[in-house]
């Protein structure tokens, strides 16, 4: 497999899917790309929208600064490189190649100009069942391919689901992925709202040689953790919020481990059965991808959608405002067709920045059975969602003050009490879902072992 971390400028790995117009005999270098602007940032990486000078193709350039890499993150980058370069699927963001120099490691990725699923959810508050099914079919196709190659993604969420300018879904960000043929998945990794119970019970990885959990203690998990995340995603798309989200990470952990999801009344019975089946606490009972694809919710979609009859493609289609060079089949020839004039989206690559957005101009008043808006700022004229809209009985509540509805400090900071159905998402208030921290989860003791 490809190894990274040396000090010499070199091409670490290239994909067989890399277009000929982008290939070169000399080692790849950052000087081969024109960096346009920063479009995403993580704890150890930054992503730029860039143009390949040789082919004039738009790419996303993911940069890991070596000075910021720990021993663990360096191993994760090497794992991400080895896994992602070898993947080729219509619904997986393509990695064309990886190179490095003395300062950084660079991943050259397909540029998804249509933004991410979080932006779609932000703009529309929630999706219809038909739109949700469109997302699930393409996502499950990508997972079926990954699981068939013994790869677990471990970080399925709206921010990691992108769209091309043609509206094609692309699963992205393999920084948490693992090949179970080479390593045992025994460490706690991912995003808390989407973590399966068996992942939460595993300890954190403390060093590259520390394997985390131990299969003898029941702390090893499998690809069913991705199935759990599909269930969380389905619930979030249908209602606007994850099912187990709480004010603190400790409360969220306990909710995931012991509570059952509660559905609004507008969610159909087939959708409820689907989510309950996928979100079974015991991984042995959870279905596989092949079994999910045969579920009635996906095979017999609802016949009418009175709230929104737009297709998923219509939701993600970027506005045609400013020109971006686009490659026809990534052949290296820039197309002059006016259809290639698109706005560079604010979030074309997975990141965790959710913003507060006002409701669309001229929007009709919400009915009592409609989900409360997830990212709308408070307004005196905005009707308060009625408790009867939800299956779980709730108490009436006053309209929260504007100060309490703005950007929220990190988890645990004091704020006025509000019923959960009246609160904007924690992702919207805190700038994204916080990654699970060891202090937030009950300590787990296990014997060390080789794994990731």
Element (H, E) at 50: strand 45-52
Q: Is 112 known to sit in a ligand binding site?
A: yes
Cβ atoms of 282 and 225 within 8 Å: the answer is no
Which residue intervals of the chain bear CATH 3.30.200.20? Answer: 12-110
Q: Is 111 known to sit in a ligand binding site?
A: yes
Q: Is 337 known to sit in a ligand binding site?
A: no
In angstroms, rounded to a whole number, what is the distance separating the alpha carbons of residues 79 and 368? Answer: 48
Element (H, E) at 419: none
Residue-wise pLDDT tens for the chain (452 aa)?
466 655 688 999 999 999 999 998 899 999 999 999 999 888 789 999 999 999 999 999 999 999 999 988 999 999 999 999 999 999 999 999 999 999 999 999 999 999 999 999 999 999 999 999 999 999 999 999 999 999 999 999 999 999 999 999 999 999 999 999 999 998 888 899 999 999 999 887 665 655 555 544 557 799 999 999 999 999 999 999 999 999 999 999 999 999 999 999 999 999 999 999 999 999 999 999 999 999 999 998 776 555 566 888 888 874 433 333 334 333 333 333 323 322 233 333 333 333 333 444 554 544 444 444 443 333 334 343 333 334 444 344 343 333 333 333 343 334 334 333 334 444 434 444 443 333 344 443 333 445 67
Q: What is the pLDDT of residue 133?
A: 95
Out of 3.30.565.60, 3.30.200.20, 3.20.20.140, 3.40.1190.10, select the CATH number for domain 12-110: 3.30.200.20
Q: Locate 388 and state its tokens.
A: 């009867």
Question: Among 223, 217, 191, which Cα is nearest to 202's?
Answer: 217
In angstroms, rounded to a whole number, what is the distance separating the alpha carbons of residues 439 and 416? Answer: 24
Catalytic residues: 155
Q: What is the pLDDT of residue 88?
A: 97
Bridge partners (DSSP) listed for residue 260: none
Q: What is the pLDDT of residue 37?
A: 94
Other C-beta atoms lying within 10 Å of the C-beta of residue 73: 18
User: What sign does the CA torsion over 440, 352, 417, 254 have?
Assistant: negative
Cβ atoms of 169 and 145 within 8 Å: the answer is no
Q: Is 251 known to sit in a ligand binding site?
A: no
The 3-state DSSP class for residue 160 equals helix
Which residue intervals of the chain bear CATH 1.10.510.10? Answer: 112-360+370-379+405-410+417-452
Q: Is 107 left (phi over 0), alpha (psi -120 to 50) or beta?
A: beta
Q: What is the CATH number of domain 112-360+370-379+405-410+417-452?
A: 1.10.510.10
């Amino acid at each position: 497999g490809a190894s990274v971390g040396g000090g010499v400028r070199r091409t670490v790995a290239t994909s067989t899917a890399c277009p000929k117009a982008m290939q070169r005999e000399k080692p790849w270098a950052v000087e081969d790309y024109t960096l346009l602007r920063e479009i995403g940032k993580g704890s150890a990486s930054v992503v730029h929208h860039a143009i390949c000078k040789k082919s004039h193709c738009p790419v996303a350039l993911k940069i890991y600064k070596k000075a910021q890499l720990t021993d663990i993150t360096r191993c994760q980058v090497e794992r991400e490189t080895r896994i992602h370069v070898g993947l080729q699927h219509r619904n997986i963001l393509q990695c064309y190649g990886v190179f490095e120099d003395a300062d950084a490691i660079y991943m050259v990725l397909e540029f998804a100009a249509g933004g991410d699923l979080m932006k779609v959810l932000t703009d529309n508050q929630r999706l219809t069942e038909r739109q949700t099914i469109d997302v699930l079919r393409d996502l499950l196709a990508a997972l079926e391919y990954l699981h068939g190659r013994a790869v677990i993604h471990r970080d399925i969420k709206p921010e990691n689901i992108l769209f091309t300018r043609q509206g094609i879904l692309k699963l992205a960000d393999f920084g948490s992925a693992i090949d179970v043929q080479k390593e045992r998945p025994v460490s706690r990794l991912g995003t808390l709202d989407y973590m399966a119970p068996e992942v939460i019970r595993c300890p954190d990885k403390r060093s590259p040689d520390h394997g985390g959990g131990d299969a003898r203690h029941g702390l090893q998990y499998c690809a069913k953790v991705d199935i759990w995340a599909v269930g969380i995603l389905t619930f979030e798309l249908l209602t606007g919020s994850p099912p187990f989200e709480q004010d603190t990470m400790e409360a969220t952990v306990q909710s995931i481990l012991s509570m059952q999801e509660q559905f609004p009344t507008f969610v159909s019975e087939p959708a409820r059965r689907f989510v309950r089946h996928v979100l079974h606490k015991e991984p042995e009972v959870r279905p596989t991808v092949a079994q999910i694809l045969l579920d009635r919710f996906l095979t017999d979609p609802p016949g009418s959608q009175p709230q929104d009859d737009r297709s998923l493609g219509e939701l993600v289609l970027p506005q045609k405002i400013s020109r971006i060079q686009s490659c026809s089949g990534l052949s290296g020839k820039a197309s002059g067709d006016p259809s290639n004039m698109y706005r560079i989206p604010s979030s074309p690559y997975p990141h965790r920045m959710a913003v507060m957005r006002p409701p669309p101009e001229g929007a009709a008043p919400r009915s009592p059975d409609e989900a409360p808006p997830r990212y709308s700022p408070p307004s005196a004229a905005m009707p308060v969602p009625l408790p009867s809209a939800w299956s779980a009985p709730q108490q009436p509540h006053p309209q929260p003050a504007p100060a309490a509805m703005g950007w929220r400090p990190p988890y645990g900071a004091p704020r006025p009490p509000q019923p959960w159905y009246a609160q904007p998402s924690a992702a919207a208030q805190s700038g994204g879902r916080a990654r699970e921290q060891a202090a937030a989860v009950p300590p787990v003791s296990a014997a060390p072992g080789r794994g990731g």
